[in-house]
C-alpha cells in the first residue's frame, strides 16, 4: 500500500514538473537591457541593420533599372545605325573590342585593410553622424577637411552632418573652393590620360571608359566640382574611407554619397581645405 501511495505521489510530482516546463516554453522572456553606449546610432551602423540592408537593396534595384534603361537606349541606337550586310565596308580590320572592365584591387603593400569585413570592424568615427561644428560658412555648404579626412555638410544651429571620406594621396592633395556643377547617378568613368599612363607604368591597365555600375570606382553617385577633373563620389572599395589614397577626388561610401546627393543641389559651394 505504501509503495502504491509513493508511486502515485511521484507521478504527481513528475506530471506537475513536466507541466511547468511545458508552460515555460510559452512564457515571454525578460527584456534584454542594453547600455546606452552600445545602442548609439554609430554602433548600430556596424551591424547589418534592417535600414542598411534596405538601403543596399534599394541601390541594387535602382542600378538594375538604370542598366535596363541603358540597354534599351543601346538597342534603339543599334537599330538606327543598322546597315544591310551588302552595305557594310569590306576591310581586313577586326571590330573594336569592348573596353576592359576592371575593379579597384589594392596591392598588398598599400597601408589599409584589403577587405570590407575588416573595414567594418575599424574605427566607427568614419560613419555619418551629426556633430557640433563652428564655422563661418553658411548652412548648405560642404566643407572637406583633408587633414582629418571628414566631409561636413553645414547645418543650422552650429551643427553639421559629418561623413568619413578618402582623400588625395601625397602629391595629389589640393585645396580651394568650387561649386557642384553636375550630379550623376551611376556615372561612367573616363580615367584621365595621365592616370592611364601612370598606372600602366605600375603594370595596371585601365580602360579608356568604364560604364557605371557596382564595380565602377566612382560608385553610385558623383558630384562634379566646377570644371575640374575632381569629384565627390562613391567607391567600390569602402575600406579605403579614412585614407589618403585617391588621385585628388573625395570618395565616400555608396550609402553616404547617396545621402549627400539627395541633400544638396547643383550650385552648392564646396570648400576643400
The domain locations on the chain are: 119-272
Catalytic residue, chosen from 149, 161, 162, 233, is 233
Question: pLDDT confidence of 121, banded at 50, 70, 90?
Answer: very low
Catalytic residue, chosen from 180, 249, 250, 258, is 249
Assign domain 119-272 to its CATH superfamily.
L,D-transpeptidase catalytic domain-like (2.40.440.10)
Q: How far apart are CA 253 and CA 256, in angstroms?
A: 5
Question: pLDDT confidence of 188, banded at 50, 70, 90?
Answer: very high
**Nine cell digits for residue 265:** 543641389
Question: pLDDT confidence of 194, banded at 50, 70, 90?
Answer: confident
Query: CB neighbours of 77 closer than 8 A, spacing ≥ 6?
Result: none
Would residue 249 show up in a list of annotated catalytic residues for this protein?
A: yes
Question: pLDDT confidence of 30, banded at 50, 70, 90?
Answer: low
212 has a pLDDT exceeding 60: yes
Would residue 108 show up in a list of annotated catalytic residues for this protein?
A: no
% of the chain exceeding 70 in pLDDT? 63
pLDDT tens digits, 67-102: 787 777 777 766 665 555 555 555 555 555 454 444
242 has a pLDDT exceeding 90: yes
Q: Give whole-number Cα distances, 149 to 24, 30, 72, 132, 251, in Å.
A: 53, 43, 40, 17, 10
The pLDDT assigned to 104 comes to 42
Between 61 and 148, residue with greater pLDDT:
148
Query: CB neighbours of 123 closer than 8 A, spacing ≥ 6?
Result: 242
Amino acid at each position: 500500500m505504501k509503495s502504491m501511495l509513493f508511486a502515485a505521489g511521484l507521478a504527481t510530482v513528475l506530471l506537475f514538473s513536466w507541466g511547468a516546463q511545458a508552460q515555460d516554453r510559452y512564457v515571454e522572456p525578460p527584456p534584454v537591457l542594453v547600455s546606452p553606449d552600445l545602442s548609439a546610432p554609430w554602433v548600430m551602423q556596424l551591424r547589418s541593420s534592417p535600414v542598411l540592408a534596405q538601403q543596399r537593396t534599394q541601390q541594387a534595384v535602382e542600378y538594375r533599372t538604370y542598366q535596363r534603361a541603358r540597354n534599351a537606349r543601346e538597342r534603339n541606337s543599334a537599330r538606327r545605325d543598322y546597315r544591310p550586310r551588302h552595305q557594310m565596308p569590306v576591310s581586313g580590320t577586326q571590330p573594336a573590342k569592348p573596353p576592359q572592365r576592371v575593379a579597384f584591387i589594392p596591392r598588398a603593400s598599400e597601408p589599409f585593410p584589403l577587405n570590407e569585413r575588416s573595414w567594418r570592424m575599424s574605427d566607427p568615427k568614419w560613419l555619418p553622424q551629426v556633430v557640433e561644428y563652428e564655422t563661418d560658412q553658411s548652412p548648405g555648404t560642404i566643407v572637406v577637411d583633408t587633414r582629418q579626412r571628414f566631409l561636413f555638410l553645414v547645418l543650422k544651429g552650429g551643427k553639421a552632418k559629418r561623413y568619413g571620406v578618402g582623400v588625395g594621396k601625397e602629391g595629389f592633395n589640393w585645396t580651394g573652393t568650387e561649386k557642384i556643377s553636375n550630379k550623376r547617378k551611376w556615372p561612367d568613368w573616363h580615367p584621365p590620360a595621365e592616370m592611364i599612363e601612370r598606372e600602366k607604368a605600375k603594370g595596371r591597365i585601365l580602360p579608356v571608359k568604364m560604364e557605371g555600375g557596382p564595380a565602377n570606382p566612382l560608385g553610385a553617385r558623383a558630384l562634379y566640382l566646377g570644371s575640374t577633373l575632381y569629384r565627390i563620389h562613391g567607391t567600390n572599395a569602402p575600406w579605403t574611407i579614412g585614407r589618403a589614397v585617391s588621385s585628388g577626388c573625395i570618395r565616400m561610401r555608396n550609402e553616404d554619397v547617396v545621402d549627400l546627393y539627395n541633400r544638396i543641389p547643383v550650385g552648392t559651394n564646396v570648400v576643400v581645405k
